[in-house]
Amino acid sequence: MKKFIFSVVVVGGLVFNLPVQALTVPELQALIAQLQAQIADLQRQLADAQGQEVAWCHDFNTNLRIGDTGAEVEALGIAFGKEGIIKGDFTQFDEHVASEVVGFQEKYKNEILAPFGLSRGTGFVGRGTRAKLNQLYGCKAPAAQNNAPIIDSVTGPSSLLVNQDGTWILKARDPEGGSLQGSVDWGDGSFVLGQEALNFTHRYSNSGVYTLRFTVADNQNLIAKSSTAVNIVSTEVRNNPPRLGEKPTVPASVPVNTLLPLKFTASDPDGDELSWSADWGAGGIADSCPESKSYGYSSYGYSSYSNYKKSWTREIAPQWSSPGIYTVTVTASDCNGGSDFYSFKVQVVESTSTPSIPSITVLSPNGGEQWSRGGVYTIKWTSVNADKTGIALYLTDQSTSPWNITEIARNVDPNLGSYSWTVPSTIPEGTKYKIQITGVVAGAVQPYRGTVGLSDESDNYFSIVSPASSLKNIEDQTASIADAISKLLESIKGFRP
């Protein structure tokens, strides 16, 4: 805090006792007031000596309301008398005086009421009213240039329920470091005027969107304004919890140290994105809420679907290092207080050293297909524990006895699952062809049918035709379809009115 040094000053034979020590700002202001009082007294003495009328002045530094009494109320009566509003002494601030205050405020409404967004007087002598009184009748010399206050921020809810309290806080400052008073027009016909604390609480009785208009004034009645909006809804929008889908199918037992792939699904009636958690007794996962999610509170006007439904599925692959019966619990949450969960058991057993029996299964062609000579087709299969040394693919014509066998490929990696084959043009047309896949046996020139099960063939016959036959078949099918459509149209015509 700044301090000032003063000494004794003699002016025109009058001694002003100014202490020779450092003064604080409040002490300096008190001293200035003392000097002003002495100057005013000297002016009255000079006027008496010269037979002149002394100009009346008074500094209004106190807010006044109904029920107040004392010197400030009396000074208000004198000022109103000079304004021609009322004559006589004021001894008590009653309803009659309050109505006269309204008249004064509306007389100077552009300076007292307009800065606060008001058109009618309030009857309360607050900062704005006092500023005008002091401008007209104050004793203090004009103050140095004053700057308007600054509102840095307004914080508060953007939505509330009907009859729910909401609090808004203003952060404001005065460049000169003076005190501030705040007012607010709530937008529903109610106001708060001249409040020193810059936090305001209000509740609305009807739904709708309201604009709140805030005003902050300094001690010279300079103001700053700000506004914000609040959406009032009639009833609370209910959040509906998510719903988990069917439980995944799990095997009767799972060997230790073996991953168990599990996939879970869920849905949410409000379209909310979901977070997942899972506990399998030997570990778990816990997702955080998605950064971009939809909100179930649709009447608030929120919508964000950039991640829409991506979190409605979750995959995990737990494993267990010890045998036992474990409980897996899965929970889906909508991050708005709603959730759903279920649990199921998994039996974990010691792993066995006996390997699974090798097998292979032909998937395509598997019966009914029609392949053209010269065409390119994909042979597909699945295999379990097949030796990577290779498998052999054969075409068997089972219309003859013994079968005609054509080797397609040898030493194919069984894990590939497919092989692209161009049907040779030398293959005879026929309707009893099958694909057979077997394990490779050294020196074998035809399919090997061992006891280990590493052999399979198409379940049913497929056909091999010439390109012309294939085209003719397509033409026949097209003609058949056209004929059916024509008959259908004729039938429809018969129903016309």
Domain boundaries, the chain: 56-137, 150-233, 243-349, 359-465, 470-497
Cα–chain center distance at 155: 18
Q: What are phi and psi of 272, to 5 degrees?
A: -70, 145
The span from the CA of 431 to the CA of 435, in Å, is 13
80 with 160: CB under 8 angstroms? no
pLDDT at 495: 58
* Residue pair 331/276 in contact by the 8 Å Cβ criterion: yes
Q: How far apart are CA 166 and CA 321, in angstroms?
A: 55
pLDDT for the residue numbered 260 = 92
In whole angstroms, give the CA distance from residue 34 to residue 36: 5
CATH topology of domain 56-137: Muramoyl-pentapeptide Carboxypeptidase; domain 1 (1.10.101)
Residue 5 near residue 22, CB atoms below 8 Å: yes
Alpha carbons 48 and 383: distance in angstroms, whole number: 124
Question: Average pLDDT for consecutive 10-residue bins of the chain (497 residues)?
Answer: 45 47 62 66 62 74 90 87 73 87 90 86 90 87 73 92 92 88 92 85 93 90 91 79 91 91 91 90 86 39 43 90 93 89 92 68 93 94 75 91 91 90 94 89 44 75 83 66 77 64
Q: At the fourth CATH level, which superfamily is domain 359-465? A: Immunoglobulins (2.60.40.10)
pLDDT for position 358: 76
Of the candidates 53, 51, 56, the residue with the CA atom closest to the CA atom of residue 74: 56
Beta-bridge partners for 261: none
- Report the pLDDT value the prediction gives residue 293, as an integer from 0 to 100: 42
150-233: CATH, from 3.90.600.10, 2.60.40.10, 3.30.70.60, 3.30.420.10: 2.60.40.10
Q: How many CB atoms lie within 10 A of CB 453?
A: 13
Q: Residues near 183 by Cβ (< 8 Å), separated by ≥ 6? A: 116, 191, 192, 193, 194, 195, 214, 215, 216, 217
153-199 pLDDT tens trace: 999 999 899 899 999 999 999 888 888 989 999 999 888 887 888 89
DSSP 14-68: EEE---SSEE-HHHHHHHHHHHHHHHHHHHHHHHHHHTPPPPP-----S-B-TT-
Alpha carbon 113 to chain centroid distance?
41
- What is the pLDDT, as a whole number, of residue 297? 35
Give me the numbers of helices (H) and strands (E) for the chain, helices first please. Answer: 6, 29
pLDDT score recorded for residue 28: 65
Instruction: Establish whether the linkage from the previous residue to 497 is cis, with ω within 30° of 0.
Output: no
pLDDT of residue 349: 93
> For residue 279, what are the CA distances in angstroms to 240, 276, 287, 326, 496?
24, 10, 12, 10, 66
> Do 243-349 and 150-233 have the same topology in CATH?
yes
pLDDT tens profile 274-307: 999 999 998 999 888 775 443 333 333 333 333 4
For 243-349, CATH number? Answer: 2.60.40.10
